Amino acid sequence: MRENGRSMVEMLGVLAIIGVLSVGAMSGYAKAMLKYKLNKQAESLNMLFTNAFQILRELDNTSSSNSPVHFAEIMYKLNLVPDGIKFDSRLPTYLTDIFGNRIWVFAYPVQYGIGYSFYPGHDGMEICRNLFNVYKQNADVLYYISTDRFISNDEDEEEYERGNAFYGNNYCSKSNKCIYNMSLNDIDTLCGNCLEDSTRCRFYAVWR
């Protein structure tokens, strides 16, 4: 008599197929979520830059200061922090983006800027590329964009290393590299150098 139903081998085959499909679906979801976050980050950082560029000169009180003055809390209170970026009153110097990374809006005498801190892993390379692409669009009004990084030494302490800078349209020259003609390879090189063997990277967009 023929028995009805599936054999154990057939059931294992079905489960294996389901497993492969589930892994593919999860991978696709993760890629889609990363793309969404990068798009949201770009949108919110563009708006933050626009607001900071318009307001910091009016708020500037750095003429007698030898250290940076921070404006995250003031911008939050003026409703100039866009969706996708959060302010935490427990850390009033910083804002936080959709990836949970810190942003600070600052001024030195005659200079204004936005700083951003990010880390190796945790989509660091994609975030770094996104930062350069966001601010490359603002080359007309920027002084420069740059990175720096911190690395661990033998005493388990962090050492600071400054990276290269690319300059805005009004400040670049034969000796100063221009933001507007940065290539994808330039961006990947800067991001790779910043992230390699580092404990954290920082990105700066500065204007005058």
In angstroms, the CA 64 to CA 105 distance is 18
Please count the CA atoms within 13 angstroms of the CA of 86 that sit on its side-chain side.
10
Name the residue among 49, 66, 184 with its Cα closest to residue 125: 184
User: Which three-class secondary structure state does DSSP give residue 91?
Assistant: coil
Residue 22 lies in a domain: no
Maximum C-alpha span of the chain: 97
Scan for tokens 């005493």, then name that residue.
Answer: 155
Question: Is the per-residue pLDDT at 26 higher than 60?
Answer: yes
Residue 25 lies in a domain: no
Mean pLDDT of all residues in 47-61: 90
The tokens of 13 are what?
């085959």
Name the residue among 102, 196, 199, 122 with its Cα closest to residue 158: 199
Residue 20 lies in a domain: no
Residue 108 lies in a domain: yes
Compare 120 and 121 and report the one with higher pLDDT: 120
Q: Which are the contacts of 87, defined by CB distance < 8 A and separation ≥ 6?
A: 72, 73, 76, 81, 95, 96
Number of structural domains in the chain = 1
Residue 3's pLDDT is what? 52
Domain residues for the domain of 117 are 38-207
CB 56 within 8 A of CB 206: no
Highest mean predicted confidence (pLDDT) among 15-19, 118-122, 201-205:
201-205
Q: Which are the contacts of 103, defined by CB distance < 8 A and separation ≥ 6?
A: 45, 48, 72, 85, 94, 95, 96, 97, 114, 115, 116, 117
Residue 132 lies in a domain: yes
Residue 52 lies in a domain: yes
Residue 59 lies in a domain: yes
CATH of the domain at 173: 3.30.1690.10
In angstroms, the CA 125 to CA 193 distance is 10
Residue 10 lies in a domain: no
- The model's pLDDT over 58-109, given as tens digits with 9 standing for 90+, comes to 886 655 667 889 999 999 999 999 999 999 999 999 999 999 999 999 998 8
Beta-carbon neighbour count of residue 91 at 10 Å?
A: 13
- The model's pLDDT over 191-207, given as tens digits with 9 standing for 90+, comes to 999 999 999 999 999 99
In angstroms, the CA 167 to CA 23 distance is 44
Residue 154 CA to chain centroid, in angstroms? 28
